[in-house]
Amino acid sequence: MRFQVKKIALFADVQNLYYTVRQAYGCHFNYTALWSAVSREGQIVEAVAYAIDRGDSKQQQFQQILRNLGFDVRLKPFIQRSDGSAKGDWDVGITLDVMDAASRVDQVVLASGDGDFDLLLERVIQRHGTEAVVYGVPGLTALSLIRAATRYVPIEGALLLKH
């Protein structure tokens, strides 16, 4: 009998992680710890981090760290509207990429607390039988997303970068 290594696709909603971890814990998310935790489950065959490009050097350094870990970093320009509000949303891009990957992998890992992804995970599980794991901040992750996932992993402890 041959042991089959689980193939995993990892998707990180950088903006959601940044704001929810900062709000809940006052620190940053540890992407290295995420990569390690997911790697223990199987082989990460694709990994994408979705971020907003504001063009500052600190952000570019952070994006390079993500690339060095193994993430394909996808950037969207930060759009400031005339009314002062901002736009920088990757929901459609994440959804399309997760749907595409679901047929090629055994497990989809979504690091986000955004409830807009609940239907996506339900569909991935129903159509492809793919496991759907969510990493999200306790209390700031939509209950509908937690319920839709095969497994929920709270972001706490080693997944936090304490200064």
Separation between Cα atoms, residue 79 and residue 89, nearest integer Å? 10
Separation between Cα atoms, residue 132 and residue 125, nearest integer Å? 7
For 71, other C-beta atoms within 10 Å of its C-beta total 24
Provide block-wise average pLDDT over 10 residues at a time, the chain (163 residues): 86 96 97 98 98 90 96 88 71 96 97 97 96 98 98 98 81
- pTM for the whole structure: 0.93
Instruction: Express each pLDDT in 17-54 by its tens digit.
Output: 999 999 999 999 999 999 999 999 999 999 999 998 88
Separation between Cα atoms, residue 82 and residue 76, nearest integer Å? 18
Residue type at position 18:
Y
Residue type at position 66:
L
CB-CB contact of 41 with 78 (8 Å): no
- Give Cα 30 distance to the centre of its chain: 12
